[in-house]
Amino acid sequence: MFDRTVHLLNESGLHARPATLFVETASKFRSQIMVKKGDQEVDGKSVLSLMLLELTKGTPVTIKAEGEDEVQAVNALVELMEGLFDS
Partner 1 sequence: MFKGIGASPGVAFGRAVVLADEKQAASGTAKSGIEEETARLESALSETRRQITDIMDRCATGVGEKEARIFKMQLLVLDDAMFLNRVKDDIRSGRLSAAAAVQDAVSSLSGRFEGLSDDYLRQRAIDIVDVGKRLLQNLNRLPSHDTGPQEAGIIFAPDLTPSETSLMDPQTVLGLVTEAGGPTSHTAILARALNIPAVVGTKGVLALVRDGDTVIVDGGSGEVFIRPDVPTVDCYRRRAEAERSAREKLAGAVDLPAVTLDGFRVAIAVNIGGPREIGAIPSPGAEGVGLFRTEFLFLSRDTLPSEDEQFGIYREVVSRAAPHPVVFRTLDAGADKSIPALRLAAEQNPFLGLRGIRLCLRQEQGMFRDQLRALVRASVFGKMAVMLPMVSDVAEIEASRKILGEVLREPGPDGEKIAEDVPLGIMVETPAAAVMADSWAAAVDFFSIGTNDLIQYVMAADRLNERVAYLFQPFHPAVLRMISGVVQAAHRYGKRVTVCGEMAADPLAVLLLTGMDVDGLSMSPGAIPLIKNTIRGVKKNDVTALARKALGLPGAGQVVEMVREFYRERLDADV
**What amino acid positions are annotated as catalytic residues?**
15
CA separation for the pair 82, 7 (Å, rounded)? 8
| Strand boundaries in the chain, DSSP class E | 2-7, 32-37, 40-43, 60-66
The answer to whether 32 contacts partner 1 (rule: CB under 8 A) is no
Q: CB of residue 78 vs partner 1: minimum separation in angstroms?
A: 10
Nearer residue to partner 1 within complex by CB, 18 or 70: 18
Helix (H) or strand (E) holding 25: helix 16-26
Q: CB of residue 57 vs partner 1: minimum separation in angstroms?
A: 8
The answer to whether 30 contacts partner 1 (rule: CB under 8 A) is no
